[in-house]
């Protein structure tokens, strides 16, 4: 009898083309397009920044700097203008985004380098940039890190009489293997930033879209009363609806998940933290896949329970929507909060419903999920789902609640 | 505290058995609009514990009688009000219940469909089924009922066979009897 109810719930969803489109296809296509677009646009943004020729106006440029610049300008991507006259006008240009950077050398720069005896006497280079403009901060970064660093070394060489004296040590000059990392883990860390949050939210959104209609909708349309008139146990009806909804929510989340995975190649380095690592380097063991499946299943169970209990207590879909909104906010908060956590979470955090599950997914992607944390989050979710099911089945036995009396 | 039993089953202790014995139809009886009549019959038949073969033959019998066969694979949302009402009746009778409780069974039906439903209920009555209907159409009550209870403002004001009620009110038909009873009980209105 349970399976008859489950099949009916699934048929109700999967035989409705509009529902299939809005619950499964549209979110998946939307996610794919959104992420692909996001990745492509970010890629183009980085490329545009890289290719942009920084416009830099330099005041009081010493001869040594102009010479150094002339020798190195080919690979810098900078268009530098010296001997400007209107400093105030250039600052307005920086504010307006017409100029990326204004640089002011101290007067008598070369001589001061040669003459200084204490740090207070070291000549200063002042930079003026606009962090709210796309090209200004990268221009300053490039100017300081690439140009001034080398120029400083050259000037120290001048001062010491030998450029080699200006260096006490070098860092990783011959070490090509500075980055000691497991590529799979590195990719996992990238994924763990965004995927646990997405999985948690998508699972809830998938269940919510259809879950409110499953009970509150049936009550509102009067079809619930028809169902309750049959000799089937109320518990069986409740469980049938819960299982049906859980399957639908899982399929909906799976569609969205596939869309995310399909869009990953387009997202490029965004998830790998800018490193040149392929998504194919990510290799989970069978056991980890099973763990992920279990976490998702218990999370779906809890979500379905929460949605059904709000749905069963509401008289209409609209009312159920009002009840479920705060729960959605909690899910969003718990999901987003895991994006900004660092270090290994305390074991007790895994006992917090929803947050614990999302943390478990995050730790799993980072290959750091301990068995104790996995079991704790799973058991807590199962217990809460059990309590919710108990509450739902009791509500199903309450005529006043079920018949909107 | 009283006790209610249906077909020998206590309505509190054996609610499941009671629900199996009853075919219940109200104005509130609604069906999923994107399911077909065929699937709806199969679904409710299964919930009543019938095997697929029994459901099939019962569906054919009821659909043929009510003229639903032609529409059995259409979505319920696409059916007319009358056809939907006939389907609701068929659904409530899929398990061939011994007790039938119908609230306004011909409400909103065209005259031909109303006649078909009334005749079907007449046939069930002749087969020995217990039928309880509530109706505002006195001719239907006269045609179908052996026993009539008149309820005015939620209070039962008369209960008996039609002859005794008409005799009690000094009228010749149930409609006049109802108005006479109404006049006696709600004087300020009439």
Average pLDDT, chain A: 84
Rounded-to-integer distance, Cα B61 and Cα B45, Å = 14
> Which of A223, A225, A231 lies at the smallest CB-CB distance from B48?
A231
> Which of A1, A16, A222 lies at the smallest CB-CB distance from B28?
A222
Q: Which residue has the higher pLDDT, A268 or A190?
A: A190
Q: A318 CA to chain B: closest CA distance, Å?
A: 19
> Which of B17, B20, B30 lies at the smallest CB-CB distance from A226?
B30
The runs of H, that is alpha helices, within A278-316 are: 286-313
Q: Cα dist. A197→A52, A203, A283 in Å?
A: 35, 10, 20
Which of 3.40.190, 3.30.450, 1.10.10, 3.40.50 is the CATH number of A53-166? 3.40.190
Cβ of A15 and B35 within 8 Å? yes
Q: A387 CA to chain B: closest CA distance, Å?
A: 25
Q: Which residue has the higher pLDDT, B164 or A24?
A: B164
State the pLDDT at residue A270. 60
State the pLDDT at residue B189. 54
State the pLDDT at residue A102. 93
pLDDT in tens, A136-171: 998 999 899 888 988 988 888 888 877 777 777 777
Cβ of A230 and B24 within 8 Å? no
> CB of A319 within 8 A of CB of A216?
yes
Residues of chain A with CATH 3.40.190: 53-166
State the pLDDT at residue B133. 92
List of domains in chain B: 5-137 (3.40.50.300), 146-190 (no CATH)
State the pLDDT at residue A356. 92
The pLDDT of A282-293, averaged and rounded, is: 82
Rounded-to-integer distance, Cα A234 and Cα A93, Å = 73
Contacts of A398 (CB under 8 A, 6+ apart): none
pLDDT in tens, B109-145: 888 888 888 888 999 999 989 999 999 888 888 888 9
State the pLDDT at residue A157. 84
Considering only A209-218, A248-257, A280-289, which range has the smallest mean pLDDT? A280-289
Contacts of B31 in chain A (CB under 8 A): 223, 226
Q: Which residue has the higher pLDDT, A82 or A276?
A: A82
Contacts of A97 (CB under 8 A, 6+ apart): A130, A133, A135, A136
Cβ of A231 and B29 within 8 Å? no
pLDDT of B176 over the 80 cut: yes
- The SS3 call for residue A404 is coil
Q: Which residue has the higher pLDDT, B1 or A124?
A: A124
Considering only A127-131, A166-170, A194-198, B155-159, which range has the smallest mean pLDDT? A166-170
pLDDT of B190 over the 60 cut: no
Contacts of A4 in chain B (CB under 8 A): 43, 46-47
> CB of A384 within 8 A of CB of A303?
no
Q: Closest-CA residue in chain B for A222?
A: B30
pLDDT in tens, B52-82: 999 999 999 999 998 899 999 999 989 888 8
State the pLDDT at residue A397. 83
Contacts of B94 in chain A (CB under 8 A): none
Portion 14-33 of B in contact with A at CB < 8 A: 16-17, 19-20, 22, 24, 26, 28-32
Can you give chain B as a three-state secondary structure string? Answer: CCCCEECCEECCCCHHHHHHHEEEECCCCCCCCCCCHHHHHHHHHHHCCCCHHHHHHHHHHHHHHHCCHHHCCCCHHHCCHHHHHHHHHHHHCCCCCCEEEEECCCCCCCHHHHHHHHHHHHHHHHCCCEEEEECCCHHHHHHHCCCEEEEECCEEEEEECHHHHHHHHCCCCHHHHHHHHHHHHCCCCC
Give the strands of the sheet with B130-134, arranged side by side: B22-25, B99-103, B130-134
Q: Which residue has the higher pLDDT, A43 or A318?
A: A318
Taking residue B123's Cβ as centre, other Cβ atoms within 10 Å add up to 11
pLDDT in tens, A374-389: 999 999 999 999 999 9
The pLDDT-based confidence of A57 (bands split at 50, 70, 90) is very high
Q: B150 CA to chain A: closest CA distance, Å?
A: 25
State the pLDDT at residue A156. 85
The pLDDT of B163-168, averaged and rounded, is: 91
């Amino acid at each position: 009898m349970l399976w008859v109810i489950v099949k009916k719930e699934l048929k109700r969803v999967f035989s409705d083309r509009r529902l299939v489109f809005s619950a499964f296809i549209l979110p998946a296509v939307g996610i794919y397009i959104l992420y692909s677009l996001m990745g492509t646009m970010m890629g183009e943004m980085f490329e545009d920044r890289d290719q942009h020729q920084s416009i830099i106006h330099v005041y009081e440029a010493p001869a040594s700097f102009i010479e150094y610049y002339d020798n190195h300008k080919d690979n810098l991507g900078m268009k530098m203008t010296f001997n400007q006259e209107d400093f105030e006008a250039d600052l307005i240009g920086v504010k307006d985004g017409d100029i990326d950077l204004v640089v002011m050398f101290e007067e008598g720069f070369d001589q001061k380098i040669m003459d200084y005896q204490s740090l207070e006497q070291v000549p200063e280079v002042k930079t003026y940039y606009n962090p709210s403009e796309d090209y200004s901060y990268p221009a300053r970064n490039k100017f300081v890190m690439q140009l001034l660093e080398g120029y400083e070394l050259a000037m120290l060489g001048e001062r010491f009489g030998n450029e080699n004296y200006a260096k006490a040590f070098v860092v990783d000059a011959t070490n090509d293997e500075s980055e000691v990392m497991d590529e799979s883990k590195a990719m996992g860390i990238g994924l763990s930033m965004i995927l646990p949050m997405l999985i948690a939210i998508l699972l809830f959104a998938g269940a919510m879209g259809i879950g409110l209609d499953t009970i509150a909708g049936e009550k509102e349309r009067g079809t619930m009363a028809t169902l309750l008139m049959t000799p089937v146990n109320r518990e069986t009806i409740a469980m049938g609806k819960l299982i049906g909804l859980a399957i639908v929510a899982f399929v909906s989340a799976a569609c969205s998940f596939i869309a995310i995975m399909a869009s990953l190649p387009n997202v490029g380095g965004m998830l790998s933290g800018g490193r040149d690592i392929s998504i194919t380097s990510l290799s989970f063991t069978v056991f980890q896949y099973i763990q992920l499946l279990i976490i998702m299943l218990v999370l779906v169970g809890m979500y379905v329970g929460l949605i059904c209990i709000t749905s069963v207590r509401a008289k209409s879909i609209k009312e159920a929507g009002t009840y479920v909104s705060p729960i959605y906010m909690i899910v969003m908060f718990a999901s987003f909060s895991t994006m900004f956590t660092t270090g290994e979470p305390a074991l007790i955090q895994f006992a917090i419903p929803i947050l614990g599950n999302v943390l478990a997914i995050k730790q799993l992607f980072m290959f750091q999920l301990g068995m104790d944390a996995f079991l704790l989050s799973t058991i807590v979710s199962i217990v809460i789902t059990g309590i919710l099911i108990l509450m739902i089945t009791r509500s199903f036995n309450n005529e006043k609640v079920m018949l909107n009396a | 505290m009283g006790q209610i039993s249906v077909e020998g089953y206590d309505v509190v202790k054996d609610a499941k058995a009671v629900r199996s014995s009853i075919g219940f139809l109200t104005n509130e009886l609604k069906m999923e609009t994107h399911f077909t009549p065929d699937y709806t019959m199969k679904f409710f038949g299964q919930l009543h514990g019938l095997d697929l073969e029994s459901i099939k033959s019962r569906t054919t019998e009821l659909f043929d009688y009510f003229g639903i066969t032609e529409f059995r694979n259409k979505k319920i949302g696409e059916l007319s009000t009358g056809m939907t009402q006939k389907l609701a009746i068929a659904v409530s009778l899929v398990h061939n219940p011994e007790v039938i409780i119908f609230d306004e069974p011909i409400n909103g039906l065209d005259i031909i469909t109303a006649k078909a439903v009334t005749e079907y209920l007449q046939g069930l009555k002749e087969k020995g089924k217990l039928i309880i209907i509530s109706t505002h159409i006195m001719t239907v009550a006269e045609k179908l009922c052996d026993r009539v209870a008149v309820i005015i403002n939620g209070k039962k004001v008369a209960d008996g066979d039609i002859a005794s009620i008409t005799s009690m009110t000094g009228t010749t038909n149930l409609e006049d009897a109802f108005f006479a009873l109404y006049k006696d009980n709600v004087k300020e209105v009439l």
